[in-house]
Structure 1
Amino acid sequence: MHRTAAATQPSGSPRASLEVPAGVVAALLPAAADATEDQLRGACCVWCEDGPLNAETAVDLGGQKSPAGSWFPRACQSCASAWAHRGLFEHAPMCEQCTDDASRCEVGLILYRLVRQGRWP
């Protein structure tokens, strides 16, 4: 699991960090072969290339292995939310646990929390 970066909201309340299961990260990430050098090292968002990212503005997606080697993707809050939203819509209809009781599905809950986290100002 990987912990998303904690950030402080303007009101001073800390944003809770989330444990993101490796399966969630793998389902959301683009291919490492398509990433720029800055995206591979986590300096820029893995989706929109915005940067530079820092510990307060980034969602850390943890170290990843690919045929080309290790990489360290991170995302801006907006992209993490948007991709988690897409992932949730793909995951939930095909997940038996989500259709029975969504509050018991770890993957669905993490995706939902990432969506909500990205909506904070």
Structure 2
Amino acid sequence: MIPALNNVAWAVPERDEVGPAGMAGLPRPMYSKSEIVNAGKVLRENLTRDAIPTIQEARGLHIVQAFAIAHSWRDAHMLPLLRVRMELSRKLKHVEKDAVAAARLKRMASIRRKLQRPITLY
């Protein structure tokens, strides 16, 4: 049985909530750090048809919910990324009139491949 998913994974803070400088208006996570880490561990696994029930039981998290948590984490970076790109575009215009700055969120397939790589401590 697939658990019901909440479409709103991030909440917009109230007007009177003040955080660190420049952070006002950014979404707050609705998932805890441990839920995000656990979702990453689920998505790191080789998700074959036979392995999914074992993974879900071991991690206590449904695969669909793990993807929902990962997508919400990924989507939460859209606004900060946009702000950085806009600031970069403004600064580029002073250097080169026709310069273009581009940005995109990482695709989920790329995120999963990165999670599957061996951890390296540089």
| TM category, shorter | under 0.3
State TM-score, norm by structure 1: 0.28
Taking structure 2 as the reference length, the TM-score comes to 0.28
**Highest Rg: 1 or 2?**
2
Higher strand share: 1
